[in-house]
Amino acid sequence: MHNQTSMPTFLLMGFSEIRKLQILHFFVFLALYLTAIIGNLLIIVAIAFDHHLHTPMYFFLINLAMIDIATISVIVPKSMAISLLNSRWISYFGCVAQVFLYFFLGTSGFLLLTIMAHDRYVAICNPLQYETIMHKGACIQMVAIVWMTSLLYAILHTCGTFTNTFCSVAVKQFFCEVPTLLKLTCSDFYLVEVGFLVISCIIAVGCFIFIFITYMQIFSTVLKIPSTHGQKKALSTCVPHLTVFSVFLFTGFFAYLRPPTDASSDLDVAFAVIYTIIPPTLNPFIYSMRNKEIKTALWKLFDQGHSSKSFSKVVF
């Protein structure tokens, strides 16, 4: 039992004590990590090199892909290192960095998805004023507000968590998760962070209500479109965003709104894997499979790469 000032490291929970299962965990997480990284990089490259996709919707999407890459990189590499090296220690400042970066990136992603819902609303419900409302300057300002708000939010949560005195170093989770860290405190300062978490839930519910109302108005407008083709075209830009938001929201709700328990369980770890790893891994597939413009851009990208390779063979 040590206090915060004399505690240089935390002890994270491993997935197994059996070496073969540790190696299996390493390769499973490696596959998921590479899938998320490659998938999101393809989205970024496809949008960057196709001038037809230089629109507000894809500007927000490229920011979301960068957030997904960073989010999964905050947690998964350390977890893989734990299994590969069979060492579960993480430095105090490493734990602080995990908490700060995860809150910063998670908040950025959530706010960005909320802005993307507003973008779809303007595009479908008020198309004549779309270019006036969602011009380049406005989009940059929105993203800047997202990053600044998320930075402040992450600082508040990190300070609210680590101003506490910790009575134990054993974190019953495979990364530095704030609710799990708060169980290790032996001072009343943890109530400050609990207050921050309650405020966060209120803000999240507010964003959810905003997106819900926005999509009700979008669907109402789409149903008034006379042609079936027009309806499908409008919905094709909404379904990927709505799917990504649903995955992001419900995995987080399942993780944080379940009844609290003092003991760690396999269910806690499963929930943590779902809300930290699954969304960044699935997002590029959701957008590429449900969006014809992204698929077209990716095919162009692959065709250009194949053509360049063939030309190189002919020349050399």
Is 70 exceeded by the pLDDT of residue 30?
yes
Helix (H, G, I), strand (E, B) or coil at 90: strand
Determine the topology of domain 9-307 in CATH. Rhopdopsin 7-helix transmembrane proteins (1.20.1070)
Digit-coded pLDDT (tens) for 5-22:
455 589 888 787 888 888
Q: Which of 46, 34, 132 minimizes the C-alpha distance to 80?
A: 34
SS3 readout for 58-87: HHHHHHHHHHHHHHHHHHHHHHHHHHHHCC
Mean pLDDT (the chain) is 82
Across the range 278-285, mean pLDDT stands at 86
Residue spans per domain, the chain: 9-307
pLDDT digits (tens, 9 = 90+) for 122-155: 988 888 888 889 999 999 999 999 999 999 999 9
Structure tokens at 315: 């020349």
- Kindly tell me if the per-residue pLDDT of 251 is higher than 90: no
pLDDT band at 259 (very low <50, low <70, confident <90, very high): low
Q: In this predicted model, what pLDDT tens digit does every residue of 77-128 receive, in sequence order?
A: 999 998 888 888 899 999 999 999 999 998 899 899 899 989 989 988 888 8
pLDDT band at 2 (very low <50, low <70, confident <90, very high): very low
Read off the pTM.
0.85
The H or E element spanning position 89 is: strand 89-91
pLDDT band at 224 (very low <50, low <70, confident <90, very high): confident
Tokens representing 115 are: 């802005």
